[in-house]
Amino acid sequence: MEFVVTTDGLRGADRFEYWRSAVSETFVPLRAEPAHNSGRPFRGRMRSMELGALQITEVSANAHAVHRTPRLITASGGEYFKLGLQLSGACVLSQDGREVALAAGDFAIYDTTRPYSLSFGAEYRQLVVMLPRPLLRVPLREMGRATARRLSGQRGFGALAVSLLRELPQHHAEFEGAELHRLADTVSDLVAGLVTARFDPVASAGGTGRGVSITTIRAYIEDRLGDPGLGPERVAAAHYVSTRHLHRLFQEEGTTVSGWIRHRRLEHCRRELGDPTFRERPVGAVAARWGLTDAARFSRTFRRAYGCSPREYRATALG
């Protein structure tokens, strides 16, 4: 699905009011402010595409600013992480007491559940990716360290993310159904990899004992999600730490050990249910493959996480 919003064809006096409403409807409710003394009529255009659970929007406009205020957050909700990739022009992003200037080729992440501001001093183009917070497999504490930081698209995960995001608007129409969900998962994984590589503290002491990193522990969990017996005690023993210390590590990341294991199992199930390769595999078999052996409980947990039953999700994803 794709839709375009543009101020072309509107009277000059009406253009910014239309834009003010359009940005709130396209993203989350925002307070938009026009540039003062610009001396030219405002012009803006947004082209939005759905990519599975993600939304990607290419924005081009004249100078203006937008603000996500505490009042708007309280009134409207909207729990997303947003990634802004600067295509041309410049942007200043402010959140969490940090301010970062983005030039073409730079990108940054911000959180719609906390106040932020974006200021564009001149004509610009930006690609904005909206990622529902539950789908990004990075603990909230770690994401809190990543907001309003300039991220380079020159190397590593950043280069891969920029390359993929630049191409998506041109090739979006070539994909449908399960392919779009796969692309959404790829984008989410790249963002997660980027954040983890940049902001997760590296363990000392060779990655054992008290110095073990949360990244090492999460990798251990990821490799063993299919084991129904996987739990805090086993994870702690494998890393030579107490369960109390393990629980503290995950608490600092804004989650729990069991909650993280459940989240990752559900995400693997969601991906497999939306993959036509596994179309003939029963829902119960998909769940069991990822360590969720109680079918009724799996169905309830899946619905709480994604708003529909596993069967409903599969039917929608596969068409």
pLDDT of the residue at 151: 87
pLDDT of the residue at 211: 58
Q: Report DSSP state, residue 8.
A: T
Q: For 286-316, what is each residue's pLDDT tens digit?
A: 999 999 999 999 999 999 999 999 999 999 8
- Dihedral of CA atoms 263, 264, 267, 268 in degrees, nearest 10, equals -150
- Chain centroid to CA 126: 17
Q: Is the pLDDT of residue 214 over 70?
A: yes
CA pair distance 318, 215, nearest whole angstrom: 33
pLDDT of the residue at 213: 76
> Who contacts 222 (Cβ-Cβ below 8 Å, separation ≥6)?
264
Count of alpha carbons within 13 Å of 206, Cβ hemisphere only? Answer: 3
pLDDT confidence bin for 196, thresholds 50/70/90: confident
Q: For 243-289, what is each residue's pLDDT tens digit?
A: 999 998 888 878 899 999 999 999 999 989 998 889 999 999 999 99
pLDDT of the residue at 200: 63
Nearest to 29 by CA among 69, 89, 63, 60: 69
246: amino acid identity, one letter? L
Q: For 90-117, what is each residue's pLDDT tens digit?
A: 999 999 999 999 999 899 999 999 999 9
Percent over 90 (pLDDT), the chain:
57
Q: For 37-93, what is each residue's pLDDT tens digit?
A: 666 789 999 999 998 889 999 999 999 999 999 999 998 877 899 999 999 999 999
Residues 133-158 have a mean pLDDT of 81
pLDDT of the residue at 131: 93
Alpha-carbon distances, residue 93 vs 34, 238, 252, 300 (angstroms): 16, 42, 26, 39
Cα Rg for the chain, rounded, in angstroms?
Answer: 21
pLDDT of the residue at 111: 95
CA pair distance 198, 10, nearest whole angstrom: 44
